[in-house]
Amino acid sequence: MSKLLLKTLSLTAATAALVSPALAGPTYENANGGSFTFYGHLDPSFLSVDDGVNTTSDLADNSSSNSRIGFYLRQPIGQSKFQFQFETALGLRGSADISQTNDLNAMDWDRTDIRKIDFSIAGSYGKFSFGQGSMASDGVAFTDLSGTGLPTTASVEDLASSFELTTTAGALSGISIGDAFPTFDGARLGRVRYDSMSLNGFTLSTSYGTNILTEGNDDEAYDVTVRYQNQFGDYNFDSALGVIWTDKATGADTRDISTSFSVMHSSGLNGAISYGDRDTGGNYGYIKLGYTANLFAIGSTAVSVDYYTGDDLVSVGSESESFGIGLVQNIDSANVETYLGYREYSYEDTSATTYNDLSALIFGARWSF
């Protein structure tokens, strides 16, 4: 039996174990209206990447939505609501970390896996947040109502970010998928943030932050975003626009503009677009078309196709293209989403070097609790 088949069977067995009844995220309430809620999800997957020379296959945590646990503490204070949130990734080997040369442990947690240590207070004045957490622009590139974000997303690099493109001569090029297929979305940092109340579907947010989890990183970032969500008849809309300024301790400062828009019709037809531009060079565009239907009693089924194109992202004159297809089957009774995704990457630049296409296949399941 091939190693590929053995690994696929192992993942199937792991998925079956996850689907079995297990822990559920409980909520506990106190006499003063406060609550404690525990939550998380596990997202094991099988990843296989063909770089045009060799194929690398391994079990991985899906970097599009890495496995994590967390909790909320909520307490009303007069007319305001106080909240504390802690959330950490589990430090499992991510699909974005695997490459032709990386020899990674199955689990290697460090403090950079902490996602949120966040205090906030909200009321009629909006919401103020303090601590490690999402900048205002985090997610502005990824509005997507398709339900297929696990295998296919505007962050097309997630499946194979650390893999290097190979040359047609069979050598590693030194250019990674992450280099050639970036998005200019916001980050999670130690920050202060303000979100306005929603006004006819519009929300304004701004934040200032710096990296407090990585030693030696003194970059500072500040951003402004506008989000819009609404429903008109049979159509649901979700959109975002953000501008991100990064003052770098070393190297050139950057200004990034990211925007995305998604629409879902009651028939299940949906679409999403995303665009990003960096003032120091490079831009990309992304489009996705999808369909969601209740084909099976266990839960909805979602399929999509997408396309990414980028210019000048590695060097002046470079061109990046990616095509992807995704399938997600929900199992409502078990809080499980099973998924299958395939993506192809192609790249060229103005040098004399030519590059092989790279393809990635992912199969997995996310269990939420």
pLDDT at 126 over 90: yes
pLDDT tens-digit series, residues 312-332: 999 999 999 999 999 999 999
Query: Is the whole-model pTM more than 0.85?
Result: yes
CA distances 39 to 86, 150, 202, 337, Å, are 10, 18, 28, 16
8 Å CB contact between 281 and 349: no
Q: Which domains does the chain have, with CATH numbers?
A: 3-73+93-113+135-368 (2.40.160.10)
Averaged pLDDT score across all residues of the chain: 93
Pairing of β 27-29 and β 55-61: unpaired
Per-residue pLDDT, 19: 36
8 Å CB contact between 235 and 264: yes
Q: Report residue 232's pLDDT band, with 50, 70 and 90 as the boundaries.
A: very high
8 Å CB contact between 359 and 54: no
Per-residue pLDDT, 364: 98
pLDDT at 225 over 60: yes
Q: What six digits make up the tokens of 98?
A: 């695997």
- Whole-angstrom distance, CA of residue 79 vs CA of residue 209: 28
Residue 204's beta-bridge partner residues?
226
Q: Of the candidates 42, 20, 234, 221, which has an alpha carbon nearest to the alpha carbon of residue 145?
A: 234
pLDDT tens-digit series, residues 162-202: 999 999 999 999 999 999 999 999 999 999 999 999 999 99
pLDDT at 4 over 70: no
Per-residue pLDDT, 5: 35
pLDDT at 3 over 60: no
- Whole-angstrom distance, CA of residue 269 vs CA of residue 174: 40
HSE-up of residue 177 (Cα within 13 Å, Cβ side):
30
* Mean pLDDT (whole number) for 221-228: 98
Per-residue pLDDT, 31: 87
